[in-house]
Amino acid sequence: MKEVNISDLERKFEERIAAEIRIEPNDWMPENYRKTLIRQISQHAHSEIVGQLPEGNWVTRAPNLRRKAVLLAKIQDEAGHGLYLYSAVETLGADREETIDDLHTGKAKYSSIFNYPTLTWADIGMVGWLVDGAAIMNQVPLCRTSYGPYARAMVRVCKEESFHQRQGFEIVTTLAQGTAEQKAMAQDALNRWWWPALMMFGPSDAESKHTEQSMRWKIKRHTNDELRQMFVNATVPQAELIGLKVPDDNLTYNEEKGGYDFSDIDWDEFWQVVNGHGICNKERIEARKKAKEEGIWVREAALAYAEKRAARRKQAS
């Protein structure tokens, strides 16, 4: 039997996972578990950070004072989420700046949704409603993920996410109930964002190379397709409620499975964008690189000052 061959530590680890006991930073863990977590959490962190950019694109053009403040607070939350997650990565012995460098060289991925452009104000509504909506669908089960620091970060994130989707839906609703021009703006944005939002859940279960192991380790709690289905079921009625049409002619409610049937996703487009050939991939990474490069002298200065001051204090005492 296989069990006989695995080490004591590994058995103990598997037992804890089975008993739903959280794994903590100092606990022994298989190298692959650590690697999988570092990959997933840093990818998640990068998504929060890159995710600031498409919305940031509209902060300076937000249509009124209230929307401007709400959008700023929302984007700021995303930066916070990025930080919580980088903190969780660091508990695994990874280095924040090194993981960020991996993002900049293209070695690490981030959610491909953020490679789509925000072209009108309605897109900001769609990002909140659909993109944050899909993110919440993904993130709520992660509050129970097996690695303690990741789970705790997700609890904090989920608490803050709830207003994100609402503010987006409020924007979309206002447009859907507005002038003909506004309604058309909302419909056009839904047409462009619907499919990319569904792609956010990742490749189909048959294609997903990490899903099985991640489920076994209870890092992941649902498969990509399960989550995608949950999202469609939750979102279609919301669209109907405000009189917008989901751009899928094959969308029908299936009584038997208690959910919607929908068309196949354009996987060619999905892989194209994931592999770095979406319309905004280049700009997004360049913007983040620029931010980091412009921060180097600031980082060095603060460090130099802290050292100088510590030395002065030592001398004085």
Partner 1 sequence: MTKPKALFEYLIRHADDTMILGQRLSELCGHGPILEEDIALTNIALDLIGQATELYEYAAQVENKGRTANDLAFLRLEREYKNVLLVEQKNGDFGKTIVRQFLFDNFQLLNYTQLLNSSDAQISAIAEKSLKEVKYHLKHSSEWVIRLGDGTEESHQRVQESVDDLMRFVEELFFQNEVNELLQEDRLIGDCEEFKQQFYKNVNNVLTEATLTIPEIKYHQKGGRKGIHSEHMGFLLAEMQYMQRTYPGMEW
Partner 2 sequence: MSNKEWPLWEVFIRSKQGLSHKHAGSLRAADAEMAINNARDVYTRRSEGISIWVIESNKIVASDPDDADALFEPSNSKVYRHPTFYTVPDGVGHM
CA dist 71 → 54, 65, 248 (Å): 12, 10, 29
Is residue 69 part of the contact set for partner 1 (CB under 8 A)? yes
CB neighbour class for 16 (10 Å; exposed up to 12, middle 13-18, buried from 19): middle
Site string for partner 2, 62-101 (x = CB under 8 A): -----------x--xx--x--xx--x--x----xxxx--x
Q: Taking CB within 5 to 8 Å according to partner kind, which of partner 2, partner 1, Fe ion, none is near residue 255?
A: none
Which of residues 30, 56, 141, 148 is near partner 1 by CB under 8 A? Answer: 56
Torsion of CA 278, 279, 282, 284, to 10 degrees: -100
CB of 304 to Fe ion, least distance (A): 34
Gap between the Cα atoms of 6 and 176, Å rounded: 59
Which of residues 121, 260, 262, 270 is near partner 1 by CB under 8 A? Answer: 121
Report 163-192 residues binding partner 2 (CB under 8 A).
none
Which of residues 36, 132, 150, 223 is near Fe ion by CB under 5 A? Answer: 132
Sequence-distant (≥ 6) Cβ neighbours of residue 48 within 8 angstroms: 78, 79, 81, 82, 85
β partners of residue 145: none
Is residue 295 part of the contact set for partner 1 (CB under 8 A)? yes
Q: How far apart are the first and last CA of the chain?
A: 66
Token pair of 165 as six digits:
């989707």
Query: Closest CB to partner 1 among 76 and 263?
Result: 76
β partners of residue 23: 147
Query: Closest CB to partner 1 among 45 and 230?
Result: 45
With tokens 């924040």, the residue in question is 96
Gap between the Cα atoms of 46 and 51, Å rounded: 8
Angle, to 10 degrees, between the axis of helix 133-142 and the axis of helix 224-241?
140
The DSSP H or E segment spanning 261 is strand 259-261
Neighbours of 12 (CB within 10 A): 12
Which of residues 23, 171, 172, 190 is near partner 1 by CB under 8 A? Answer: 171
CB of 26 to partner 2, least distance (A): 5
Q: Taking CB within 5 to 8 Å according to partner kind, which of partner 2, partner 1, Fe ion, none is near residue 200?
A: none
Is residue 298 part of the contact set for partner 1 (CB under 8 A)? yes
Is residue 60 part of the contact set for partner 1 (CB under 8 A)? yes
Footprint of partner 1 (CB under 8 A): 49, 52-53, 55-56, 59-65, 67-69, 72-73, 75-76, 79-80, 82-83, 86, 121, 171, 174-175, 178-179, 181-182, 287, 290-292, 294-295, 297-306, 308
Footprint of partner 2 (CB under 8 A): 24, 26-28, 73, 76-77, 80, 83-84, 87, 90, 95-98, 101, 152-153, 156, 160, 292-293, 296, 299-300, 302-303, 305-306, 309
Footprint of Fe ion (CB under 5 A): 48, 78, 81, 132, 161, 164
